[in-house]
Amino acid sequence: KPTVALMDMNMVFGDIPMFLDISPRHHWGDITKNIERLDEFFLSNILSKNATGLHVLPSPRYLDNHPMPTPPIMETLLNLMKRKYDFIVIDLGQSINETALKIIQLSTVVDIITIQTLPCLSNAARLIKSLLQYGYTDQSHLHMVLNRYIKKGLVNLETAEEGLGQEISWIIPNDYPTTMSAINSGTPLFETAPKSRIVKCFDEYAETLLPDKKEKKGWFF
């Protein structure tokens, strides 16, 4: 069974523990203030594990003056995690700083998630242009994901792709009741509504992220 780590890089108040119904004792701030101690044993004690076997490195829950992760710290951490896990998934949130850009540079897959509104599509288009123009990623690593898609929305799929200047790689349907039920119960969608259209969509999407079966390891963000 592949080993998977999920890291929340929202600077404070990340929601991943709530979504997974776990109460982690540690967060990545414990690594940034003890970076000289970082090894596989230390890392194993920091990450939490949920019922599905997913290993989680959450963000801090409070403003506790922990050192912010720097690009060199993230490179050291991710290189260690790469040796330990088959897949690493990182939620960068909406903050684009030097550390976030370093993570993007190290990424095998860069998914930019947007929704079907003109302001969000405009911001996504500017982000794409910046990342490509300054070499933080290249087109082969970049994927656009349209979340909460409504077929009869005011901005249709063709208009969205035209505005982005990119083909949309994947569409996540809008299923607010099912999604909110999963979030509020701290239960994965595949347990909350295993036969729903949105779960089928995520299953198919996950398959597209898997590396070639000949490859032993892969990581993506």
pLDDT digits (tens, 9 = 90+) for 73-127: 999 999 999 999 999 999 998 888 999 999 999 999 999 999 999 999 999 999 9
User: pLDDT confidence of 19, banded at 50, 70, 90?
Assistant: confident
Question: Does residue 220 surpass a pLDDT of 70?
Answer: no
pTM above 0.85, yes or no: yes
- In whole angstroms, give the CA distance from residue 159 to residue 156: 5
- Asked which of 14-23, 31-40, 133-142, 195-204 is least confident by mean pLDDT, the reply is 14-23
| Structure tokens belonging to residue 13 | 């108040």
pLDDT, residue 119, reads 94
pLDDT of residue 58: 94
Which residues are CB-contacts of 72 (< 8 A; sequence separation ≥ 6)? none
User: Is residue 221 very low, low, confident or very high in pLDDT (cuts 50, 70, 90)?
Assistant: low
Q: Is 60 exceeded by the pLDDT of residue 217?
A: no
Q: Positive or negative, the Cα torsion across 12, 13, 15, 21?
A: positive
- Inter-residue contact 151 to 126 (CB < 8 Å): no
